[in-house]
Amino acid sequence: MRAVVQRVSRARVTVEGDLTGEIGPGLLVYLGIGPGDGPREVEWAARKVAEMRIFPDQAGRFDRSVEETGGAVLVVSQFTLYADTRKGRRPAFIDAAPPEVAAPLVEAVMAALRARGLQVEGGRFGAHMLVESVNDGPVTIVLDSTDLDRPRG
């Protein structure tokens, strides 16, 4: 599972002119699902997104999470996070999970975030979406579940 997490002052996603999700201050999460992802990665992603301390405290240091600030989360499925660009000019997406695997896992991450008490909005899986955001900072963090089994060093 891969995610690009952006701290935003606001973000919204529309599909064919219909607003599907909109948040004020919080996190915009582009979420990609890999073929081997499952419940372990869902819980990991939800915990990381909810608890990551990338909001400033009174001293301006990154010391508060979206949970602590009362912010919201906008989740947008993004299979292109699994693009393989090693050969040629056209990316290959064979490392992304197929839609029938990925869609339920995206929903599971959103449900896990909601279970933590967060306001969670989303795009529409598989649709052509227009995403608008105002990146606050800018702060952009890349998460990859392959880090689960890699020692920190």
Measuring CA to CA, how many Å separate 94 from each of 3, 43, 82, 98, 113?
17, 24, 8, 9, 28
**Domain architecture of the chain: domains with CATH:** 2-146 (3.50.80.10)
Q: Which residues are catalytic?
A: 78-80
Q: What is the mean pLDDT of residues 84-108?
A: 95
* pLDDT class of 149 with cuts at 50, 70, 90: confident
* DSSP states of 83-102: -B-SSSSSPB-TTSPPHHHH
Give the three-state DSSP class for 128. coil
Q: Is the pLDDT of residue 147 over 90?
A: no
CA distance 20 to 74: 10
CA distance 54 to 39: 25
CA distance 75 to 22: 10
Is the pTM higher than 0.85? The answer reads yes
